[in-house]
């Protein structure tokens, strides 16, 4: 399947895309890791890359701050950027979120083009126009909606990702499929086959980007339909927050964690990748879908088997169920303060937004989730 987003020659695609937008100045936003791995190796033939000013931001979530945005604004001033200038983000989700927010607010908004270098970035942050930074420890608390003029997808940079990074992105692909297309979802469950074939992976990513773009097109500011993309994220964000922000000394260890040798405690230092958290959050959402909307329980069994095999056992302990509920109650996606808001499924590919199950149903689903995955 050919796609308007997909290319096997990213240098050429970037040059053509920038030429078609005809900006007066281009600022490339990237990070040090990407600069070394992608810009210096994969994009070596691009004239735009050669000739444009660049700013390298700190890699990783810690750099996703207002201070970094100020540095990008300053660089834009320095190069004399106007309203006709372009920000070209080359990197993972941190780069596209940050560079996107800086562009969204510079002179009330200048154009952006995203070239995502991670699978997660390609199917999640780089597409759809959500931009943002962390503030007071809250993820993407400050931000805006600002659609990139173009997202260029190439499987080339994914080849340098490790398996953990691929898996995290793949979970968001499964999410995109499960809310929109039963057959595509079933196909994606054959994860090893798709990941092992760069062409198939590229096509699947491009299909996900198309699905997301089409949803976003219909509801750019997340007033309704777009919320289907939050499937799995209510519980997923809570898991992410518990596993990643909790002081290590008070972290109560699940007895076994994916890929973890009981004598090796280094995994404790690793954060739970966003996609893995969503993969687990989706099981909670499927169980809730059964309780609230009569979703087929056989599909739950099917998915939970896939989950355990590829994303490991439960990521929270029994003792953390209350904490997870508390985190969900404070999620910014909630329309009422303290009432968790879920996207659920009637059946595969048929989502229902704004579901507000009772706290007891949520507790029940978390308990079943633990039973199914431990």
Measuring CA to CA, how many Å separate 110 from each of 147, 310, 343? 10, 41, 32
- The most distant pair of C-alpha atoms in the chain lies apart, rounded to whole Å, by 59
CB nearer to a copy of itself: give 149 or 333. 333
Q: Residue 271 and residue 223: Cα distance in Å, rounded?
A: 31
Q: Tell me if 142 contacts a copy of itself by CB under 8 A.
A: yes
Q: Tell me if 100 contacts a copy of itself by CB under 8 A.
A: no
Helix axes 163-178, 198-218, angle to 10 degrees: 50
Binding part of the chain for a copy of itself, among 31-39, 55-63, 137-145, 306-314 by CB under 8 A, reads 137-145
Binding part of the chain for a copy of itself, among 231-239, 280-288, 308-316, 328-336 by CB under 8 A, reads 328-336
Q: Residue 101 and residue 142: Cα distance in Å, rounded?
A: 9
5, 106, 158, 239: residue in contact with a copy of itself (rule CB under 8 A): 106
CB nearer to a copy of itself: give 42 or 110. 110
33, 52, 65, 144: residue in contact with a copy of itself (rule CB under 8 A): 144
* Three-state secondary structure call for residue 310: helix
Q: Tell me if 354 contacts a copy of itself by CB under 8 A.
A: no
CB nearer to a copy of itself: give 80 or 196. 80
With contact defined as beta carbons under 8 Å apart, do 238 and 324 qualify?
A: yes
2, 266, 337, 360: residue in contact with a copy of itself (rule CB under 8 A): 337
Taking the complex as a whole, the smallest distance from the CB of residue 222 to a copy of itself amounts, in Å, to 8
Cα dihedral 246, 251, 255, 259 in deg (nearest 10): 50
Q: Residue 340 and residue 334: Cα distance in Å, rounded?
A: 6
| Interface of this chain with a copy of itself, residues 37 to 96, rule: CB under 8 A | 66, 70, 73-74, 77, 80, 82-84
CB nearer to a copy of itself: give 133 or 348. 133
Q: Tell me if 176 contacts a copy of itself by CB under 8 A.
A: no
Phi, psi of 212 (to 5 degrees): -65, -45
Q: Tell me if 149 contacts a copy of itself by CB under 8 A.
A: no
Q: Tell me if 295 contacts a copy of itself by CB under 8 A.
A: no
Residues near a copy of itself (CB under 8 A), total: 37
CB nearer to a copy of itself: give 11 or 341. 341
| Interface of this chain with a copy of itself, residues 193 to 252, rule: CB under 8 A | 221-222
CB nearer to a copy of itself: give 254 or 340. 340
CB nearer to a copy of itself: give 104 or 205. 104
136, 162, 266, 298: residue in contact with a copy of itself (rule CB under 8 A): 136
Q: What is the CA radius of gyration of the chain?
A: 20
Q: Residue 343 and residue 284: Cα distance in Å, rounded?
A: 11
Taking the complex as a whole, the smallest distance from the CB of residue 83 to a copy of itself amounts, in Å, to 6
With contact defined as beta carbons under 8 Å apart, do 281 and 235 qualify?
A: yes
* Three-state secondary structure call for residue 241: helix
Measuring CA to CA, how many Å separate 288 from each of 86, 294, 361, 371? 44, 9, 7, 14
Cα 141 to chain center, whole Å? 15
With contact defined as beta carbons under 8 Å apart, do 135 and 148 qualify?
A: no
CB nearer to a copy of itself: give 97 or 165. 97
Q: Tell me if 140 contacts a copy of itself by CB under 8 A.
A: yes
H or E stretch including 307?
A: helix 297-311
13, 38, 104, 228: residue in contact with a copy of itself (rule CB under 8 A): 104
Q: Residue 111 and residue 147: Cα distance in Å, rounded?
A: 8
Site for a copy of itself, rule CB under 8 A: 24-25, 66, 70, 73-74, 77, 80, 82-84, 104-109, 130-132, 135-136, 138, 140-145, 221-222, 332-337
């Amino acid at each position: 399947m050919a796609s308007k987003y997909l290319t096997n020659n990213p240098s050429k695609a970037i040059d053509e895309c920038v030429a078609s937008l005809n900006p007066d100045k281009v600022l490339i936003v990237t990070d040090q890791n990407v600069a070394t791995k992608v810009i210096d190796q994969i994009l070596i033939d691009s004239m735009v890359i050669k000739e444009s000013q660049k700013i390298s931001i700190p890699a990783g979530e810690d750099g996703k701050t207002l201070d970094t945005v100020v540095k990008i604004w300053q660089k834009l001033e320095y190069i004399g950027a106007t309203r006709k200038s372009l920000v070209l983000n080359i990197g993972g989700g941190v780069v596209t979120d940050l560079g996107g927010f800086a562009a969204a607010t510079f002179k009330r908004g200048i154009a952006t083009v995203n070239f995502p270098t991670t699978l997660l970035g390609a199917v999640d942050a780089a597409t759809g126009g959500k931009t943002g930074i962390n503030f007071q420890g809250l993820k993407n608390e400050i931000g805006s909606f600002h659609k990139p003029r173009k997202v260029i997808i190439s499987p080339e940079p994914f080849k340098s990702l490790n398996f953990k990074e691929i898996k995290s992105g793949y979970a968001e692909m499964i999410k995109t499929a499960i809310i929109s297309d039963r057959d595509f979802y079933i196909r994606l469950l054959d994860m090893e086959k798709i990941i092992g074939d760069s062409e198939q992976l590229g096509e699947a990513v491009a299909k996900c980007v198309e699905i997301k773009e089409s949803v976003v097109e219909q509801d750019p500011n997340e007033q309704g339909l777009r919320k289907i993309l939050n499937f799995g994220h209510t519980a997923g964000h809570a898991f992410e927050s518990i596993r990643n922000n909790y002081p290590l000394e008070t972290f109560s260890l699940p007895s076994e964690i994916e890929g973890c040798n009981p004598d090796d405690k280094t995994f404790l230092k690793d954060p739970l990748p966003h996609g893995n958290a969503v993969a687990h959050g989706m099981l909670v959402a499927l169980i809730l879908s059964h309780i609230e909307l009569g979703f087929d329980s056989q599909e739950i069994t099917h998915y939970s088997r896939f989950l355990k095999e590829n994303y490991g056992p439960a990521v929270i302990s029994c003792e953390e169920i209350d904490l997870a509920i508390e985190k969900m109650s404070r999620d910014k996606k909630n329309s009422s303060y303290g009432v968790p808001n879920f996207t659920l499924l009637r059946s595969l590919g048929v989502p229902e937004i704004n579901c507000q199950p009772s706290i007891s149903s949520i507790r029940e689903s978390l308990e079943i989730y633990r039973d199914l995955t431990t």
